[in-house]
Structure 1
Amino acid sequence: MQLVKVGLCAFGMSGKVFHAPFLKEHPGFFMSAVVERNKEDSKEKYPDAKIYRSVEEMLQDADIELVVVNTPVQTHFEYVKMSLDAGKNVIVEKPFTVNVSEAEELVQLAKEKGLFLSVYQNRRFDRDYLQVQKMINEEKLGNIKEVEIRFDRFRTEPSGKLHKENPDLFGSGSLHDLGSHLVDQAVQLFGFPEKLFADVFSMKGSEFANDYFEILFYYKDDLRVRLKSSVFTKEAHYAYAVHGSRGSFLQERTDNQENELVAGVVPEYGEEWMQPLQQPDGILNFLNENNETVRLETSSEAGNYMHYYQNIYEHIVFGYSLPSPAEEVVRNMKIIEAALQSSIEGRVVNLI
């Protein structure tokens, strides 16, 4: 099996939870380097990875073929550009960059260099999202008319992470963070909207970056899709509500990969490493072919973030499609920028 040598730009939560475990367990990847500016935390689980004290130093390693840029979003443009200039393929954490112009510049640079640039949209591999996708594809709901996708939390106290909560740092806040997932899922399911209206602000106060957003997508075929997130939600809503001309589907947010990874569970390659659900997590209520109401409890199948890295590997070795290519995710960045504009100006913003 061809071995792809990978350099990891940081070993914080993102590196420890979402990248290093998969790179270690996938037989096609070797995590040969990691950047830790002051510590050596990676040595315990990844003793074969060389520790560098800066991204610049790591990029001088000629053996590294693929670089994972998983640093704060405000540094993404700089580190992705440096990596591409060094001749490395790149995976960059969402939301890609802080603005559209930076994203477009990096897409163009990757094309000029003949390198690939993929955005780590891991929640395309969440069990709950995959179940919604499955239900829509089965067409039991008829013509989809109204959808709500939520990602709520109860985190009323500041986290202390300035790159996420300082309102003076562009790219901080929930819209760029969780919003990048919800926007991506909506676009994957329904395509690029015609226009939008948004309300974005901080419930914790103006001294913090936005922690609440509500975005309404307008589609030409009379479909409305609402994206919403709040940090003052003690009691959970259904994360997905899909309503159509033949029925409705409600789906809880039940993917537990992040929690399991934080707890130290190893994401084994080649098999589903998550435990099955103990109880149903969705409700399907629809009219069958005889116009009889059918109401069923549904259970989603396990998601697996390893599939993202498997897709990356197959792209490198076999030339298969690149998962979440950067030029595709630029559309998401345009939506996020338009949402901020809409909220500031209090008006509907046309996208097409």
Structure 2
Amino acid sequence: MSSLPKITESKIAIHAKKEGEKARKYWSEIFCGSACLVVVDSLGKCSGDNFDLVVINDSQELAPEELLLLEKMASDTTHFLVVVGSGDLETPSLCDLLGAEGTIPIAHAEWYLKSINAQNQPIEVAIYGKFHEIMPKTDTTTLASISVGYRDRPALIGRGNIFTFGVDIDLDQKVQRQLSRAFKELIFKDNTSNVGPFGVGVAGYGPYGGMGHYHGSACNATPHLKFVAIAEPNQQRRNSAKEQFPKIQTYESAKELIEDDEVDIVIIATPPITHFELASQALKAKKHVVVEKPMCLKVSEVDELIELARLNNVVLTIHQNRRFDADYLALKELIESGTIGEVFNIETFVGSFEHPCRAWHSDQEISGGAAYDWGSHHIDWILQFYGTTPSHLFVNSHKRVWHDVTNADQITISMAFQDGKEAKFIQSDVAAIRKPKFYVQGTKGTIQGWYRPLANDVVDFPFGYRSERFHHAEAPVDFEVVQYAIDNQTRSYRVSPTEVEPFEFHRNLAAHLVNSEPLAIVPSSVRGVIEILEATQRLSNSKEHYVQI
């Protein structure tokens, strides 16, 4: 089979005669990031437009004269993805063209599509629809299968420039990211097989189990990325890094790391006060850059980094890892689906009553201030939910209990939006009773999610009982959804967190560099977060409370 161009360079047409709008929406999510995607009701409308890929949404909709055109176009440069669709493959000429003896109808259900990608890694993703087992001819290649009765049945085959898919997809089902990724890897796989790896260096390794160890583990588990170096001024931490990753280079300074020709990507995992300067140095050296949250401390610095990345034609992104949290994703889906109508109030909270850590995180000269810590995540969530930034801020902070650190004990950020919607974030080290992590009001109901702190209780000799307690914000929360019914009645139910895959940020970064998959976190999407955090800290230090932004 000849190769397709990268998906970002591909023009895609969807052939659908009955459910054109549903098909357009579904396949545009499957092949998100394509250069062009249109729906046509006749194959003749594709013949002169040089489409790279034509998706036949239902083979049963192909007219006899279209089969001849399909064969002609496929013999040139156009690729086809033919979905078996609502009926079995029975037309001899179509079967010959697709390289199939026919199909066997199985059932309408949830299935697991299995394959191996270009990096010889297994793919397994859920899909819902009617499965038709394809009976391939000897000159075809089986690209993916579905296990039925502990036997793999062909579900996606390839012959020449034509792919044939045996699942009549339910177009009303929400497209899962894993399914979109699987299709891209299977249909566009030739573009990635010989690329990379990109060498990754981390500036700021940190203590054992810290961000350096995390990023190193993530890179080595991600195709096309390779953990090659760290910069860490602490000798003991450099030794630990070498023990954990024996093949990496270790440097004392970030300058040495940036100058290493084996380093293509620099991850800035140092204290926030250093983010702007180190990211600037790396971008000027034409390195791709990942900055830990917060991206930096001033919105002017955000703008300058974005411009540096543009001038040097390199990637700049921010490790807003909480955008991949299972509870955030579940709540985002509930909000976007209209479960509680139009959302008009969002409240989030993090905290407890305990002594702040005595590391740099609690010193505002290094961290930027209390709001820059968890606020980098919670404010980001709020802006992602609303899709816009607030017009006004009201900030209140307290310094009443912990006097050995310089960050505020508690900070409250109230946000008012141009359309009258509102939001509030509270971070506290003096809250003996926690508020809900999420409290969201809409015109049709309310959603709330309470923290569930985790502890690992053990009894061992000779110490007896011990309890290892984890930070209360680490475990994803379940949601209680209460909807208004009628006549002052309500109904409630629980929603569990979404299932997520580890290291999704790193996978997306690699896919962006290799095959131009849209970047999950573009720096412009974080600009509003930094604008709010900068204004919050300015108000907190000045003892003023209100500002228009």
Q: Aligned match of 2:424 in 204, 223, 226?
A: 226
Q: Which is worse superposed, 143-152 or 241-250?
A: 143-152
Q: Aligned match of 1:5 in 199, 210, 228?
A: 199
Give the direction of change, closer, same or farther, for the CA distance of 1:179–1:114 in structure 2 (3 Å limit): same
Cα distance in 1, alignment partners of residues 409 and 499 from structure 2: 29
The equivalent of 1:239 in structure 2 is 437
Aligned length: 328
The equivalent of 1:132 in structure 2 is 331
Q: Which is worse superposed, 303-312 or 103-112?
A: 303-312
8 Å contact 1:87–1:113 — kept in the other structure?
Answer: yes
The equivalent of 1:118 in structure 2 is 317
Cα distance in 1, alignment partners of residues 487 and 265 from structure 2: 54
Cα distance in 1, alignment partners of residues 452 and 212 from structure 2: 22
Structure 2 counterpart SS, 1:59: helix
Cα distance in 2, alignment partners of residues 54 and 206 from structure 1: 30
The equivalent of 2:380 in structure 1 is 184
- 1:23 corresponds to which letter in structure 2? C
The equivalent of 1:283 in structure 2 is 480
Structure 2 counterpart SS, 1:5: strand
The equivalent of 1:67 in structure 2 is 266
TM-score normalised according to structure 2 size: 0.56
Runs of 4+ more than 6 Å apart? none
The equivalent of 1:41 in structure 2 is 240
The equivalent of 2:505 in structure 1 is 308
Q: Which runs of 5+ in 2 are unaligned?
A: 1-192, 455-467, 469-474
Cα distance in 1, alignment partners of residues 452 and 245 from structure 2: 30
Structure 1 counterpart SS, 2:374: helix
Q: Aligned match of 2:216 in 14, 17, 20?
A: 20
The equivalent of 2:255 in structure 1 is 56
Q: Aligned match of 2:300 in 88, 95, 101?
A: 101
Tell me by how many angstroms 1:296 deviates: 0.8
8 Å contact 2:348–2:437 — kept in the other structure?
Answer: yes
The equivalent of 2:67 in structure 1 is none
Q: Aligned match of 1:209 in 390, 398, 407?
A: 407
Asked which structure has the greater RCO (Cα within 8 Å, sep 6+), the reply is 1
Give the direction of change, closer, same or farther, for the CA distance of 1:111–1:197 in structure 2 (3 Å limit): same
CA offsets per residue over residues 48-105 of structure 1, 9 Å max, x none?
1111121111112112110000001111112111111211000001111122222222
Tell me by how many angstroms 1:12 deviates: 0.8
Structure 2 counterpart SS, 1:349: strand
* RMSD (CA atoms): 2.4
Cα distance in 1, alignment partners of residues 333 and 488 from structure 2: 22
Indicate yes or no: 2:535 matched with 1:338. yes
Give the direction of change, closer, same or farther, for the CA distance of 1:53–1:79 in structure 2 (3 Å limit): same
8 Å contact 1:122–1:305 — kept in the other structure?
Answer: no
Cα distance in 1, alignment partners of residues 320 and 227 from structure 2: 20
Give the direction of change, closer, same or farther, for the CA distance of 1:182–1:314 in structure 2 (3 Å limit): same
8 Å contact 2:326–2:500 — kept in the other structure?
Answer: yes
Greater strand content: 2
- 1:237 corresponds to which letter in structure 2? K
The equivalent of 2:289 in structure 1 is 90
- 1:180 corresponds to which letter in structure 2? S
8 Å contact 1:199–1:214 — kept in the other structure?
Answer: yes
CA offsets per residue over residues 112-171 of structure 1, 9 Å max, x none?
111111111000111121121111112121121221011223432x4221x32234x164
Cα distance in 1, alignment partners of residues 370 and 213 from structure 2: 20
Structure 1 counterpart SS, 2:390: coil
Cα distance in 2, alignment partners of residues 122 and 68 from structure 1: 13
The equivalent of 1:296 in structure 2 is 493
Cα distance in 2, alignment partners of residues 197 and 234 from structure 1: 24
Give the direction of change, closer, same or farther, for the CA distance of 1:4–1:337 in structure 2 (3 Å limit): same
Cα distance in 2, alignment partners of residues 126 and 254 from structure 1: 15
TM-score normalised according to structure 1 size: 0.86
